[in-house]
Structure 1
Amino acid sequence: MSDTLIQTLKILFRRDLNQLKREIEQYGRESAIWCVENEITNSAGNLCLHLIGNLNTYIGGELGKTGYVRNRELEFSLSDVPRTELLAKIDDTIRVVDQALDKVTSAQLEEEYPILVFEKKTSTGYFLVHLSTHLGYHLGQINYHRRLLDS
């Protein structure tokens, strides 16, 4: 079952990261990627950077040992990063996630995730499922942002 979970997670991360690329590509106005309005306080660009930082930290850096160093504050303060750069970062993240998950063993899924992220300790398998749902949550926000603010 654990090998199946790893393969399922690889498929879901790849699917949703590719959808993230499509969302960013579909903005008719590149400037709209960075729009905030009224109570919408996070732009699609910032959410994209946040997802890239999140996955590179918790999957790439911790499980894949890539040496990635996160600057979470910049994920929400940068603006006007060119679309081409965002897309390249997403492509890099797809590769990092795939390579890191290839290294994860069935036994590791049952073990405690090496970093305390929540109020209590979790297994690596639990945390990877959380990361997948976190990606899906923000992907939905980006889709809504695009349809609402890129008209």
Structure 2
Amino acid sequence: MLIETLKALFTRDLKKLQTEVELYKKEEHLWKIEGSIANSAGNLCLHLVGNLNTYIGKELGKTDYIRNRELEFSLKDVPREELLNMIDNTIEVVNYSLDSLDEGALANEYPVVVFEQKTSTEYLLVHLATHLTYHLGQVNYHRRLIDI
């Protein structure tokens, strides 16, 4: 039951991320930073894609994804269409990976230490869902502040 809930939430919020990216009137504004805004919406998008492909795709779905976290925040001017495709692919990877789990696997220890101590797979997946939502809110706020 939790796996289906998580799949629904990840899909919903990744689709909302796509909508936010699409709503920018000027594509170059996806990459704009100013004042105390340290991360552009484009970089937050790259970060979310990298995060989910690593912790769900690679670790749970056994994909061959290789993360370059530094590039998630330094890469600029990735075309909007490419970002949208990355999000689409991430939705597929997340759903495929979560389909490979059964409810009993949620209580298992997550395969790598992400925080200072070991966690359950369930804990990490719930964390990833809230992490996505947190940054989705930042993207929405960025768009409303910058893309005027």
Aligned match of 1:94: 91
Distance 1:104 1:39 in 2: 41
CA distance in 1, matches of 2:105, 2:112: 13
| Counterpart for residue 80 of structure 1 | 77
Q: Which runs of 5+ in 2 are unaligned?
A: none
How far apart, in 2, do the equivalents of 1:9 and 1:125 lie? 10
Q: Which amino acid aligns with 1:54?
A: N
The alpha-carbon deviation at position 107 of structure 1 amounts to 1.8
- Scaled by the length of structure 2, the TM-score of the pair is 0.99
Q: Which residue of 2 aligns with 1:21?
A: 18
- Percent of pairs identical after alignment? 66
Give unpaired runs (5+ residues) of structure 1: none
Match of 1:145 in 2: 142
Other-structure match for 2:51: 54
Partner deviation per Cα, 1:49-86 (whole Å, 9 max, x = no partner):
00000000000000000110000000000000000000
Q: 1:119 aligns with which of 102, 116, 130?
A: 116
Match of 1:109 among 106, 116, 139: 106
Runs of 4+ in 1 over 4 A off after TM superposition: none
Shift in Å, 1:106: 1.4
Q: TM-score, normalised by structure 1?
A: 0.97
